[in-house]
Chain A
Amino acid sequence: MADLLSVLVSGVLVGTVYAYMAYGLGLIYGVLRVVNLAHGAFLTLGVYVTWWLHAAFGLDPLVSLLVTVPLGFFLGALVERSLVFRLRDSPPVTTLLLLFGVWLIVRNVLYLIFGGADRSLLTDYSLESFAMGPLAVSLPRVIVAVFSLLGFLVLALLLKKAWAGLALRAVAGDREAASLSGIPVNRVWAVAFGIGSALAMSAGSLMSLFYSVTPEFGARFLLKSFCVVVLGGLTNMGGILVAGVALGVAEDLTAFYFHTGYRDVVSFIVLVLALVLRRADTG
């Protein structure tokens, strides 16, 4: 029983990480209808910036969010203004390739600066866990889970209450109608891309608490983010949170009760099933 509970708790905590990684991807797709293949690049950048701030100035990864969030927003908005915006009326595959190119550039720049070695950071609480009955719960993972829930709440409030959020939803709903009613669609796109990238970079900051990083880091998690976004409903932040947790629990239960080697197969099965079922729903 203790083992089952351990696995369930671990699955929930891992799932919140998946959800946090995927919020930005879902937001950008919802507003711009663009599959952001550079998402992995922002995720990786987040880990590297956090690692560097820790190595150079001893900055705690949680404090480094004060740097990675605005930096992510700026870089995301810059990519949107300077690249994505220029291709806004092109076929989707063009933007897809463009953002894949951005990812490759970022990856190679990171190789040039940091090399290919695994980098990881250690804080006073990196390896701490606390007892909860018979369970040992990882403190860094709980911290990330709390941030994931906070991220969801802030995003939900932003989308529901703030003017910017209303504008984002309006553009996501009908770009032309939003434009006719005076919403600056171009600026909203840049803001959406900026927020999505800031979320990805902040997810990287938090993931640095337990993952080591190489320039290939983003590739490792991009597919998981896609799975979560597709499963959660593409633009539905609540759905993404639930989907992330569901995927984390499903993976951990599969690993524990069947075979650890099948863990990643779960993501592929979920992705295929979600796509097929959605197609059946709409078709």
Chain B
Amino acid sequence: MVPLVRRRVDRGFAAPRAASDFRPRRLRRLAAPVAALTGALTLGFLGGSCGGGEGALRIGAALPLSGKHANVGGFFRNGYQLAVDEVNGAGGVMVDGVRQQIELRVYDDKSDASISPSLLERLIAVDGVAALLSSYSTPLVQAQVIVPMRRGVPFVNAGGASQTIFREGNEWVFGVLSPVESLATTTLEWLAWEQAQGRLKRPLRVALVWQNTDHGREYRTGVTRMVEQNPDRFELVLDESFEHLSSDHTSLIVKVRSVEADVFLSDAHEPDFLLQHRAYVEQGLFHLAVSYGARGPERSVREGLGRRVANLVSAQWWTRALPYPRSRTFTEAYEDRFGGPVTEYYPAIAYEAARGLIAGIEAAGSSDPAAIRDALMALDVDDSLLPGGRLHFPEESRYQIRNQCVIVQNLENGGVRIVYPPEAAEGPAYLGV
């Protein structure tokens, strides 16, 4: 051992400099800024630990606060924080016989699925969190779920709707987003309801295109299942996939035109949606109903397509127009604190995920992960802001919520109107785009 060490020293390390080479005064001058910078970096890295402090119960999340999902990551952080602050403002939660504040610890996963799981490991091993909240986007959440499974820590997911996230035998992952399939099934349920009202003909010729991803495949499953179950109502005349981030959609839209459908359904992420609907408008197509899955009400969509998105119909996991008291109080509190209007579902779903997790901790009355998990399995909140007003995690869907979505239609003035389900509808849909 000794000769080895000696050789490394001889070859690799420079000899110490003479004492005169050092400049202690300059070093002292640098010491304060370096210390300040180190402190700032450390705090910055540790991110938003808010409220709580000594003796608080920690929950944590790795969120995309930078990178391609940074805007949604910001919505998620705000939603999580709002729920935590509400509980802390009301005195905290009773855990192990003591009322405790909740501390939310957040790291930036930089929208990178390769580092997100290691941040969860850090939250568990170093920060000692009792439970976890998810990142945003299906690929990031798919990467994350391995950690709570392996470490036995409850994980509430608000960021991925794909059923691939909820694996057989995984009892630690709970989802507040209904499956992507629900976007499709609710849309076809709405069409069937319009048929029942005598406002649409039977059967409807449906043209379906979907992006070749887990999201798109699950949307397709929802449509094809509904079509198979209702052959008197729907006829599928086109069923075709397209690649995500395609450079042009004109040929696909020409194909849609050639099948002469009554309804055009597409599942597309935003860049493909913008390009596809542009081609749709340019080619002068007309359908009784046009839907791009969950796309449509976003502000960025209006920026790119202006009034040409009027009358598009979309299925949403939440919308601010839902007439539930919890939804209204959330919207007011969120807009009061972070500004608004809240035009997208992200902060609401994040808020509901954090609220659900805290309700689970409260019900467990313990910081023991297994106790929190058991409480989440049995959770049944009846004042949820989600469509249907109920938050619970059914075992038969591997603890992923199975609420219906809500169907909204874009208005000319930039707003949206709920058109389905009937109990929440603000008016009839305009049929024809």
Q: Which residues from chain A sit less than 8 Å from chain B, CB to CB?
A: 3, 6-7, 10-11, 14, 111-112, 115-122, 126-129, 136, 138, 210-212, 214-216, 220-221, 224, 248, 251-253, 255-256, 259-261, 263-264
Query: Chain B's nearest CB lies how many Å from the CB of A103?
Result: 15
Closest to B272 in A: A212
- The answer on a CB contact under 8 Å between A264 and B246 is yes
- The answer on a CB contact under 8 Å between B303 and A116 is no
Within 8 A of A (CB), among B264-289: 270-271, 274-275, 278-279, 281-284
- The answer on a CB contact under 8 Å between A220 and B247 is yes
A selection of 9 A-B contacts at a CB cut-off of 8 Å is A7-B254, A116-B71, A120-B274, A127-B281, A129-B284, A136-B284, A212-B270, A256-B255, A261-B212
The answer to the question of B101 belonging to the interface, with a C-beta cut-off of 8 Å to chain A, is: no
A116-B69 CB under 8 A given contacts A127-B308, A210-B275 = yes
Report the separation of the CA atoms of residues A112 and B66 in the bound assembly, to the nearest whole angstrom: 8
Q: Which residues from chain B sit less than 8 Å from chain A, CB to CB?
A: 64, 66-71, 111, 209, 212, 240-243, 245-248, 250-252, 254-255, 257-258, 270-271, 274-275, 278-279, 281-284, 300, 303-306, 308
Q: Which residues on B sit within 8 Å (CB–CB) of A264?
A: 243, 246-247
Report the separation of the CA atoms of residues A112 and B274 in the bound assembly, to the nearest whole angstrom: 24
Report the separation of the CA atoms of residues A118 and B295 in the bound assembly, to the nearest whole angstrom: 13
Q: Which residues on B sit within 8 Å (CB–CB) of A248?
A: 248
Closest to B271 in A: A212
- The answer on a CB contact under 8 Å between A121 and B242 is no
User: Max chain A CB contacts within 10 Å: which of B69, B251, B281, B308?
Assistant: B251
Report the separation of the CA atoms of residues A224 and B209 in the bound assembly, to the nearest whole angstrom: 24
Q: Which residues on A sit within 8 Å (CB–CB) of B240?
A: 259-261
Closest to A128 in B: B282
- The answer on a CB contact under 8 Å between A260 and B258 is no
- The answer on a CB contact under 8 Å between A129 and B283 is yes
- The answer on a CB contact under 8 Å between B278 and A122 is no
Q: Which residues on B sit within 8 Å (CB–CB) of A122?
A: 303-306
Report the separation of the CA atoms of residues A216 and B254 in the bound assembly, to the nearest whole angstrom: 28
Among candidates A6, A116, A224, residue contacting B70 with C-beta atoms closer than 8 Å: A116
- The answer on a CB contact under 8 Å between B247 and A224 is yes
Closest to B284 in A: A136
Q: Which residues on B sit within 8 Å (CB–CB) of A220?
A: 245, 247
Report the separation of the CA atoms of residues A256 and B250 in the bound assembly, to the nearest whole angstrom: 9
Query: Chain A's nearest CB lies how many Å from the CB of B32?
Result: 27
Report the separation of the CA atoms of residues A138 and B254 in the bound assembly, to the nearest whole angstrom: 13
Report the separation of the CA atoms of residues A222 and B242 in the bound assembly, to the nearest whole angstrom: 20
Q: Which residues on A sit within 8 Å (CB–CB) of B274?
A: 118, 120, 211-212
Q: Which residues on A sit within 8 Å (CB–CB) of B70?
A: 111, 115-117
- The answer on a CB contact under 8 Å between A116 and B68 is yes
Query: Chain A's nearest CB lies how many Å from the CB of B117?
Result: 20
Q: Which residues on B sit within 8 Å (CB–CB) of A10?
A: 248, 250-251, 254
